[in-house]
Amino acid sequence: MKFTVPGKKMKFKCLAVAIAVIACSSVANAHHSFALFDRSRITTLSGTVREWKWANPHTWLTVVVRKADGADEEWALVGSSPNMMSRWGWNAADIAVGDKVLVDIFPARDGKTIGALKTLFLPGGKVLADPAGAMGEALASGPATLPTKPEGVPYK
Amino acid sequence: MKPTPANAPRNDTARILRGGCCSLVALLLAVQPHHARAATAPQSKAVQAKAWREIASLPDFWQGTWQSVSPIADDFPTPPEYTNSALDYIKHYRPVEDSPFANCQPLGLPFVMNIGGMPMKFFQSPGMIALYIESSGMTRFIHTDGRKHSERPNPTYLGESIGYWEGDTLVVDSTGFVPETLFQLGKLDKSALAQGDPSPLSGVIFGKHGANLRLVERMRLADFKTLEIQTTIYDDTVFKRPYTLPSRRYIRGIERRNDPQEWACTDNRDYLDPTSGKLEYNSKDKAQNR
């Protein structure tokens, strides 16, 4: 996969893709909740994996986050289906209990410690994007671009 | 068939008439063309070989898998002619706040064809086309052996499907559905919706279909990469006349990542709260919604 094609042409392409994604984001949110999570906000969690459930209809990643005051907080993060994720490069064995991870999520609207997975940054440098919200074309052909670092507001 | 009513005539004439009818039915069955009879004995190798050769000349639905590129919800660009009871239902309809299918409850037809995210795959064998729909992990069995619908098909989520070719178009006629299949009967007017609602289900009117719901799908290749399916809904409890939806589009994927996968739905942490109508997260009882 190529991620770095500098120049104006690429910028335009990205913009076009972004517009298309927004316009067509209704295609593949298939089994997902639409009301539970705020997809206009991104929060970045840093924590330790407590549970990683590779199952349908959704994967679940439970992460323990140590807050600034020293208290531990459990976050339950819902992902897409293993079927969709495997087509975007995820593997059940990518994540193990005890792993330290950085993860971008769409937070719950009501402030609960739950979220929808957006991007996972693994200790070894592997970056995995959750396909929820992608267009049918992107689901059939794989992710177009991946962020290199977290994009959300750090949770403390 | 209805059971014989208690007051049915019991004289000889009636018996003779009944006997005559039975003979006529038997005769009609006997003169049906060969392909219209379901096989009751093993086919010879030669007959099977001929059937496979015929399959080879059909439009190529078979390579790779098909990924939906249409929105989940159907559009109703031409206002349907609703029955009075449907109009009354729509008048009092409260839109769903959240996805009614974020758990393991099967969708059934017609909505099972609307869910994208995962591909579907056609398989062909003499007398039957199978369509595996990964997003539900279910397979549609489409009989192409010339049979007619059962008189009283037992209700199922995918119904009883009979298929035949009209030129390059595969026509699939389905009936015999359980009442619980997810059914969209329309879309609310845009003015009734909250602005900026991100849900692809905003404005969708879900409701009950009638017991005699019948669907006729016309499936054809627009080109090698594109499959189009146009569905006509026959349900006189909802629509005064059959309603044809805009075609749905699917694109073909032939790489390994597009291979069909297992779908076993086992983890119900999401569940729809029946009191609030909202999707909730439930960590304690994962099986609550089964």
pLDDT at A145: 84
% of chain B with per-residue pLDDT over 90: 63
- pLDDT (mean) for A40-44: 96
Task: Report the Cα B166 to chain-centroid distance in Å.
Answer: 19
Cα gap A55→A61, rounded to integer Å = 11
pLDDT digits (tens, 9 = 90+) for B47-93: 999 999 999 999 999 999 999 999 989 999 999 999 999 999 999 98
Mutate to test the interface with B, among A25, A26, A106 (most CBs of B within 10 A): A26
More confident residue, A136 or B195: A136
Res B192: pLDDT: 63
- Residue of B67, B70, B99 lying closest to A32 (CB–CB): B99
Q: Which class for B21: exposed (0-12), middle (13-18), buried (19 or more C-beta within 10 A)?
A: exposed
Give the residue from B101, B81, B86, B60 showing the smallest Cα distance to B199: B101
- Name the pLDDT band for B1 (thresholds 50, 70, 90): very low
Indicate the helix (H) or strand (E) that contains B134.
none
8 A C-beta contact, residue A105 and residue A45: yes
**pLDDT (0 to 100) of residue A140:** 84
**Beta carbons within 8 Å of B151's beta carbon, 6+ residues apart:** B1
Residue A123: pLDDT band with limits 50, 70, 90: confident
Residues of chain B contacting A36 with CB distance shorter than 8 Å: 98, 278-281
Q: What per-residue confidence (pLDDT) applies to B286?
A: 45
User: Is the pLDDT reported for residue B7 higher than 60?
Assistant: no
Q: Which pLDDT score is estimated for B105?
A: 81
Q: Is the distance from CB of A49 to CB of A95 less than 8 angstroms?
A: yes
Give the pTM: 0.80
Per-residue pLDDT at A50 = 95
Q: Is A36 on the interface with B (CB under 8 A)?
A: yes
Q: Which of B75, B257, B262 to mutate to test the interface with A (most CBs of A within 10 A)?
A: B257
Contact criterion met (CB < 8 Å) for A60 and B269: yes
Task: Please count the other Cβ atoms lying within 10 Å of the Cβ belonging to residue A21.
Answer: 15
A47 burial via Cβ count (<10 Å: 0-12, 13-18, 19+) = buried
What is the pLDDT at residue A10?
39
Residue extents of the structural domains in chain B: 65-256+264-281
Q: Which residues contact B254 (CB under 8 A, 6 or more apart)?
A: B63, B64
Nearest to B107 by CA among B94, B120, B95: B120
Of B74, B27, B79, the C-alpha closest to B229 is B74
Residue A5, min C-alpha distance to chain B (Å)? 24
> Which residue is listed with tokens 């039975």?
B22
Residue A30 has pLDDT above 60, yes or no: no
Q: Does A133 touch chain B (CB under 8 A)?
A: no
Element (H, E) at B140: strand B138-143
Q: In the Cβ-directed half-sphere of B26, how many Cα atoms lie within 13 Å? A: 6
What is the pLDDT at residue A65? 97
B267: pLDDT confidence band, cut at 50, 70 and 90?
Answer: confident
Model confidence at A16: pLDDT above 50: no
Spatial neighbors of B206 by CB under 8 A, at least 6 apart, are: B96, B100, B182, B183, B184, B185
d(CA A149, CA B88) in angstroms, rounded, equals 53
CB pairs under 8 A between A and B: 131
| Residue pLDDT, tens place only, A80-119 | 999 999 999 999 999 999 999 999 999 998 888 999 999 9
Instruction: Map out the domains of chain A as residue ranges.
Output: 8-154
B117 touches chain A (CB under 8 A): yes
- Interface predicted TM-score (ipTM) over 0.85: no
- In angstroms, the CA B135 to CA B108 distance is 11
Q: Which long-range contacts (CB under 8 A, 24 or more apart) does A15-20 make?
A: A17/A144, A20/A135
Rounded average pLDDT over B125-152: 96
Sign of dihedral through CA atoms A74, A151, A25, B118? negative
**Pick from B126, B159, B285, B139: which is nearest to B231 by CA?**
B159
Query: In chain A, pLDDT over 70 holds for what percent of residues?
Result: 78
A57-61, B248-252, B263-267, B274-278: segment of lowest average pLDDT: B274-278
> Is pLDDT larger for residue B257 or for residue B40?
B257
**Between A12 and B108, the higher pLDDT residue:** B108
**Distance, CA of A62 to CA of A78 (rounded, Å):** 9
Among B35-44, B121-130, B167-176, which is the least confidently predicted range? B35-44
* CB contact set of B77 (below 8 Å; sequence gap of 6+): B246
Predicted confidence (pLDDT) per residue in B166-215, tens digit: 999 999 999 999 999 999 999 987 766 666 566 777 788 999 999 999 99
Q: Taking 80 as the threshold, does the pLDDT of residue A3 lie above it? A: no
Give the residue on A whose Cα is nearest the Cα of B200: A26
Q: Is the bond preceding A123 in cis, omega lying within 30 degrees of 0?
A: no
Q: Does residue A25 carry a pLDDT above 80? A: no
Written as one string, the DSSP assignment of A117-138 is EEEEE-TTS-EEE--TT--HHH
- How many whole angstroms separate alpha carbon A139 and alpha carbon B255? 12
Residues of chain A with Cβ-Cβ distance to B68 below 8 Å are 27, 136
Residues of B in contact with A55 (CB under 8 A): 264, 266-267
Contact criterion met (CB < 8 Å) for B258 and A86: no
Per-residue pLDDT for B18 more than 70?
Answer: no
| pLDDT tier at B38, thresholds 50, 70, 90 | low
Q: Is B102 on the interface with A (CB under 8 A)?
A: yes
| B218 pLDDT higher than 70 | yes
Report for B11-15, B38-42, B162-166, B268-272: range of highest mean pLDDT = B162-166
Domain A8-154 is found in CATH 2.40.50.140: yes
Residue A145, C-beta contacts closer than 8 angstroms, at least 6 positions apart: A3, A14
